[in-house]
Amino acid sequence: MNVAEMLRGLATLSWVVALGVIALAVVRATRGKSFKPAIGLVLGTVVGAVLLTSVAAGLVFVQPEERGVVISAAVPEGYRPVALGPGLHWVIPFFENVVVYPISRQTYTMSIAPMEGQVQGDDSVAARTSDGQEVFIDASVIFAVDPAQVVSVHIEWQGRYDVELVRPQARGIIRDQASQYGVEELVSTRRTDFTDAIRTMLTQKLEDNGLILVDFILRNITFSPEYAASVEQKQVAEQQAQQAALVVEQRRQEAEQARQVAEGLADSAVIAAQGRADARLIEAQAEAQALELIAAALQGNSELITYQYIQRLAPGIQVMLVPNDNPFLLPLPTLTPGTTTP
C-alpha cells in the first residue's frame, strides 16, 4: 500500500470517528446531559477528517509501469501538458484529479477460437486474396502507450485506444495487404513478406496516434470449407502422383540393374571366349613351331622317323611280319649282302 492510499484510509477512518462522536453527543443531549463538552471533540474530529481528506485528495502515487494525466480546473487548457512520472506527486485537492494510463505492453488478439480474443466468438479477420479466395486470419497486436505521448492519447482516445484504434487499424491493414497476395503465397512462399508489410504499416499508424507497436503476430490462416476441400484433393492427387513416380523410378532402377547384370554376363562370356581363343592360338602356334622343328630335323636325317617308329614298338618285339601285298609305311633300310640286322 502506498502513502496516498494509506492517507485515504485514514481520512475514511477519521470521518467514521467524527460521525461516531457526533452520534454520541446527540445521545447525551437527548438524555438531558450537557452538550458543551462534546462540542470541542466533535469539531476536532471533523477538522481532522477534513484535513486528512484534503491531503489524501492531493497526494497521488504513480506506479513504475504507469503515467498519470492531470485533469486540472486550475489551468485554462483543462490539463497539465506533462504527464506524471513514477513516484509520489502533489496535485491541488478537489481542483485536480489524475487519470492513470499503463505504459506496459498490452496484447489485442483477434481469433477464430471463441475464448481466445478480446471479443467473444469468432473474431478472425475475413479477407479476400488477389485470386478471389476468402481466408480467415488470426492475429495478435502487441503494443504499448508511448510514455511521451500519454497526454495526447488521453485527449484523442481516453481509454478506448485498444477498441477504437488498434482493432480497426489492424483489421483494415490485414485486409488491404491480403488483397495483394495469392492464397498460395499467403500460406507458403510470401507469408513472411505479408507479415512484414502489415507490421510496417501498423507501426506507422500507431505511432501517429501515440502508441508503440511492439510486435505483430500472424497466428493462423484458415480457408473457406470449399477451398480447404480442393486443397485436400490436390494434396491427395500430388501424393498419388509422387507414389506413381516412385514406382516408375523403382521399375527403372530394376531394369537398369538387370541391364547391368546382362552386360556383366556378356562381358564375362566375351572374356572367356577371348581366353579360349587366345589359348587355342597359343597352342596352335606351339604346334606349328614344333612341326617346323620336326620338319627341320627330318630334312637333315630322313631315317629319324624310322628310328622314332621303332622306338615306339614294344621292347620285346624282334620280328615284325607285314602283308606282302601292302606297301611299307616307312622306308626300310636297304640291306646289302653280307650284313645282318641286329
What are the sequence ranges of the domains in the chain? 3-99, 106-223, 243-312
Cell output for 219: 497466428
The CATH number given to 106-223 is 3.30.479.30
Return the pLDDT at 145: 96
Query: In 19-119, which ranges are E strands?
Result: 59-62, 66-72, 87-90, 96-102, 106-110
Between CA 333 and CA 342 the distance in angstroms is 12
Between CA 105 and CA 143 the distance in angstroms is 6
> Kind of pairing, strands 96-102 and 125-128?
unpaired
Q: What is the pLDDT along the chain (342 residues), one digit of tens a residue?
A: 566 677 677 777 777 777 777 777 777 667 766 656 666 666 777 777 778 787 777 888 999 999 999 998 888 888 899 999 998 888 888 888 999 999 999 999 999 888 888 888 889 999 999 988 889 999 999 999 999 999 999 999 988 999 999 999 999 999 999 999 988 888 888 999 999 999 999 999 999 999 999 999 999 988 877 776 666 566 656 777 777 788 888 888 888 888 888 888 878 888 888 888 888 888 888 877 877 777 777 676 766 666 666 666 666 666 555 565 655 555 555 545 554 444
The continuous run of DSSP H or E covering 317 comes out as none
> Kind of pairing, strands 134-145 and 59-62?
unpaired
Tens digits of residue pLDDT in 180-211: 998 888 888 899 999 999 999 999 999 999 99
Amino acid of residue 57: A
Return the pLDDT at 322: 58
State the chain's maximal CA–CA distance in angstroms. Answer: 207
> Alpha carbon of 276 to those of 269, 280, 286, 289: distances in Å?
10, 6, 15, 20
Phi first, then psi, for residue 109 (nearest 5°) are -110, 135
Amino acid of residue 98: V
Return the pLDDT at 315: 65
Return the pLDDT at 103: 95
Sign of the CA dihedral running 62, 68, 73, 74: positive
Return the pLDDT at 341: 46
pTM above 0.75, yes or no: no
| Listed residue (41, 46, 36, 39) closest to 16, CA to CA | 46
Return the pLDDT at 335: 47
Return the pLDDT at 141: 96
Return the pLDDT at 147: 94
**CB-based contact 130:179 (threshold 8 Å):** yes
**CB-based contact 102:66 (threshold 8 Å):** yes
Using DSSP, state whether 191 is helix, strand or coil.
helix
Amino acid of residue 266: A
What residue has cell string 636297304? Answer: 334
